[in-house]
Amino acid sequence: NAGVMQNPRHLVRRRGQEARLRCSPMKGHSHVYWYRQLPEEGLKFMVYLQKENIIDESGMPKERFSAEFPKEGPSILRIQQVVRGDSAAYFCASSPRLLAGGSEQYFGPGTRLTVT
Amino acid sequence: EDKVVQSPLSLVVHEGDTVTLNCSYEVTNFRSLLWYKQEKKAPTFLFMLTSSGIEKKSGRLSSILDKKELFSILNITATQTGDSAVYLCAPMYNNNDMRFGAGTRLTVKP
């Protein structure tokens, strides 16, 4: 069973371009979480999704950021019109059940976004 | 290949007990190691360790890093039910790359 996969591992975008980050959860996992780690800071929660539904997006910036987890295919975190401040590592994690119910969570290797 | 191993994977103790959680790692260009506590959706930052042998303390929690033997431990003394959580370690390497361990699930019973 492959772990959580994220691609690309490194992504370079110029200011104003769009960034698309992909996350394939572990097999059998229907809960996906996205986190952002800014340089020298801890992880910040962004969004929690279940298949086809956004459950909690309280950590998402109000503009330019969106996330989806379609019925088929990976979860996508999309950042439109990127700015330098978006440069960070973006981690995805998945779990088979609700975290609050005691489920385990597994992290992917992250995507490092650099905005030039 | 980069690797992070945490042990034990799960642990059940009673209030007042002391626990030691282990994290061993193999990464290239190691910079520092971070410990997180995760209860619900987002891990909470606990410690960042960069130098060997220097213990960091925060209340009943303490942690130390051994860069020669490539491991870190997290100690919790006089555990309370509120300490029940998953504890994650993550070495930071290269230019802010991080790799998470699978975590240790700690359950503290009253």
Q: Is B46 on the interface with A (CB under 8 A)?
A: no
Residue A15 — pLDDT band, cuts 50, 70, 90? Answer: very high
In sign, the C-alpha dihedral spanning A10, A13, A15, A17 is negative
* Continuous segment of H or E residues that includes residue A104: none
CB pair distance less than 8 Å for A37 and B96: yes
Residue A6 in this model has a pLDDT that exceeds 60: yes
CB pair distance less than 8 Å for A89 and B100: no
Of B38, B88, B96, the CB nearest to A89: B96
Token pair, residue A36, equals 């952002």
Q: Which residues of B touch A37 (CB under 8 A)?
A: 96, 98
Average pLDDT value for residue range B66-73 = 95
Q: Which pLDDT score, from 0 to 100, does residue A37 have?
A: 82
Give the integer Cα–Cα distance in Å for A20 and A73. Answer: 14
Residue A39 — pLDDT band, cuts 50, 70, 90? Answer: low
Q: Which pLDDT score, from 0 to 100, does residue A45 have?
A: 83
Q: Which residues of B touch A110 (CB under 8 A)?
A: 97-98
Min Cα separation A104/chain B (Å): 8
Counting Cα atoms < 13 Å in the Cβ hemisphere of A106 gives 21
CB pair distance less than 8 Å for B102 and A106: yes
Average pLDDT value for residue range A6-31 = 95
Average pLDDT value for residue range B57-74 = 96
